[in-house]
Structure 1
Amino acid sequence: MEDERLRAVTVGDMPPAHQKIVIADYDPVWPSWFEEAAARIRGVLGEVALQIDHVGSTSVPGLPAKPLIDINLLVADPAEESAYVPQLETLGYVLRVREPDWYEHRMLRGTDPLVNLHVFPPGCAEADRVLLFRDWLRTNAADRDLYARTKRELATRNWKYVQDYADAKSAVVSEILARAQETPARG
């Protein structure tokens, strides 16, 4: 991501530059970290939280990941920050990203446990996409291994921002998603 674009969507200080990407082996404690964070979020938001999902690599058993929980939170209107941000701030969350031109995405950072809380509206294609990706990786060992190898290889490189590492995974994510979309749903 270019500095200008990153600066435009960042709330507060720019993210630290040149951080080492740490990929840890899967830790079975990660789902409980999600459950704890989700319970606290539900506790302060009540019905404002329309859906809370564990996404990202920590949500896939066996997949190595940065030890940081990614959560998707669906709210009626992410642009109406007053409906959820102040309540999340009482839990220590800090609004870090505001992307009104990309599904009204907001991202808040939590620290106990480390959480990237992604806020989207209901029916959001991106929220559906990450759930499809998660569910596919949970059931497809070959693509889970491909993604793990890619993540580990990319983590060895030097990146200006963590977002650059995330962006570098786009090609393999698209490749895997294409296979997931071609496969009929089981049920």
Structure 2
Amino acid sequence: MPTNEEITRHHDPNLSENPWVTGPPAPETVAIVPYNPEWPRRYQALSVEIRATLGDAVLGIEHTGSTSVEGLAAKDVIDIDLTVADPRDENVYVPPLERLGYVLTVREPSFHEHRCLRLADPRANLHVFGPDCPESIRHRMFRDWLRAHPEDRALYEDTKRAAVPGGGNVMDYNARKQKAVRQIYDRLFRAAGMM
């Protein structure tokens, strides 16, 4: 199990590492849409398909990101955290997922061996981590905090809407949200007695 220090440490990208498997994504318009009650059902269908395809290789699977928080406006993209025994062992999960239409787009050895696969239809980002990964724990904590704290849910939604007009790619949009995201993490970690 990771320590509180490992869980509460914010990730700063390793600038010497190129995470893009097939090159950086083309700029796309980020659109925030009202909460869609279909999102949990969409996640459920995707998770059932992933479990059926990968079998025992799936150690855990969670709906994370904004679409997992009822009432929160979001990009119409389902974020899923998948736990496997070793994300570096891509042969176990990448080829079967590719047959479902997922494309490996990100490989970040310096960031808990994170891998990200994208699905075009329906839009989904599948984040792959190993067991007891601090980032997976952070994702679940952030989701659960927003579900239980309407004031921070509203702050996060306002922050996302304000970040859209800057243009660029999703990474640029995420960077514009970073200050508010870290403020929310600070509150939730302190409330959990981790800082």
Query: Aligned partners of 1:181 and 1:118: how far apart in 2?
Result: 22
The runs of 5 or more residues in structure 2 that have no matched partner are 1-13
Cross-structure match for 1:15: 25
Q: Which runs of 4+ in 1 moved over 4 A?
A: 4-7
Give the match for residue 179 of structure 1: 187
Summarize the Cα distance change of 1:6–1:12 in structure 2 as closer, same or farther, 3 Å threshold. Answer: farther
Give the counterpart of 1:129 among 138, 146, 160.
138
Instruction: Kindly indicate whether the alpha-carbon contact (under 8 Å) linking 2:129 and 2:136 is maintained by their aligned counterparts in 1.
Output: yes
Inter-partner Cα distance in structure 1 for 2:73 and 2:101: 26
CA distance in 2, matches of 1:181, 1:13: 35
Match of 1:47 in 2: 56
TM-score normalized with structure 1 length? 0.92
Q: Does 1:139 align with 2:165?
A: no
Partners of 2:182 and 2:23 in 1: CA distance: 31
Equivalences for 1:24-39 in 2 at 5 Å? 24-39=33-48
TM-score (norm 2): 0.88
- Structure 1: unaligned runs, 5 residues or longer: none
Aligned-pair CA distance for 1:14: 2.4
Shift of 1:167: 2.0
Q: CA RMSD in A?
A: 1.7
- The answer to which of 5-14 and 30-39 deviates more is 5-14
SS of the residue aligned with 1:115? strand
Shift of 1:5: 4.8
Partner of 2:102: 93
1:170 aligns with 2:195: no
Deviation at 1:181, TM superposition (A): 1.4
State whether residues 17 and 108 of structure 2, in contact with CA within 8 Å, keep that contact through their aligned partners in structure 1: no
* Offset of residue 111 of structure 1: 2.2
Q: What secondary structure, in the 3-state scheme, does the structure 1 residue paired with 2:166 have?
A: coil
Residue correspondences, number: 180
**8 Å contact 1:7–1:14 — kept in the other structure?**
no
